[in-house]
Amino acid sequence: MGGELVVMNIAVFGAAALQSATGIGFGIVAGPIMLMVLGSGDAIQISIILNILIAGFLMPSVRIHANQGVLMKFLLGSAIGIPVGLYVFLSVDIVLLKALAGIAVLMTVFIVLRKNGRVKTGNTDISENGMAIPVGIVSGVMGGSLGMPGPVPAAWMASTGFSKEAIRGTVLMLFVFSYAAAFMLQISVPGISAETIWTSIYLAPSTIVGILFGKVLAGWLTERGFRWLLVAILVSTAVLLFSSVL
């Protein structure tokens, strides 16, 4: 288990840095790696716990950048999607779960590349808001089943032209709700083992160091750089998931 913990520490450091810088990255980078290392749903539960840590740590500094209208619609959709995601988590084989995750992540790449809208300010209301609730539902399903609520809302906001600050702030504020809700449901239904809790505690220091590094990285990223980094994260994750299924 020692070597496995080293691998997971490296993974959560890099993933936490990406999440701190872009708003996503942890669930879609560390999650698949932990799935491969642990080979069980415990990886999803650890990802959820560490994501709560990241969201709570960053919330004071990012909440002013969140688009409140979009965030409220994401939250409404997530409230519908998270219980569905938990059902998927309890019902679907781990190999199929990885394949479904890969397909979902790959689809978000096409969403990001679909168009390059003009950058909007963090609080601008836009006509595309009508899609925010369905996007929130998909986010909830992926959060409840895979511990990955961020890719779809981040990709949708990027494709509609929101600024990197608005995307980062809105998605990280969404995580405060979605991961807390997913955690409560995990406790209530499948249960969380003491080993999962202790593994999460062991990985917490690497997560915090990654968060701090990511905050520095966020200041270096341009709007164009942010979008290409987002695409690179998504493509790499999809490849990793599909290769673990083969």
pLDDT tens figures, 207-239? 999 999 988 888 887 877 887 877 887 787 778
pLDDT for 115 = 56
pLDDT value, residue 127: 44
Rounded distance, CA 182 to CA 215, Å? Answer: 25
C-alpha to C-alpha distances, 207 to 9, 60, 106, nearest whole angstrom? 8, 17, 25
Q: What is the pLDDT of residue 34?
A: 83
Report how far residue 41's alpha carbon sits from residue 90's, in angstroms, rounded to the nearest whole number. Answer: 9
Write the CB contacts of 149 (distance below 8 Å, at least 6 apart in sequence). Answer: 27, 78, 139, 140, 142, 143, 174, 175, 178, 179, 182
What is the average per-residue pLDDT within 93-114? 75
Mean pLDDT check: name the lowest of 23-32, 51-60, 119-128, 184-193. Answer: 119-128
If one counts every other C-beta atom within 10 angstroms of the C-beta of residue 228, the result is 12
The pTM assigned to this predicted structure is 0.79
DSSP track, 178-201 = HHHHHHHHHHHTT---HHHHHHHH
- Residue ranges of alpha helices (H) inside 63-150 are 68-91, 94-114, 132-146
**Residue 240: domain span:** 2-245
pLDDT score, position 74 = 96
| Phi, psi values for residue 220, rounded to 5° | -85, -25
Model pLDDT for residues 42-69, shown as the tens digit of each residue? 888 898 899 899 988 888 888 899 999 9
pLDDT, tens digit, for every residue of 123-134? 444 445 578 999
Give the model's pLDDT for residue 80: 93
| Amino acid 128: pLDDT | 53
The domain total for the chain is: 1
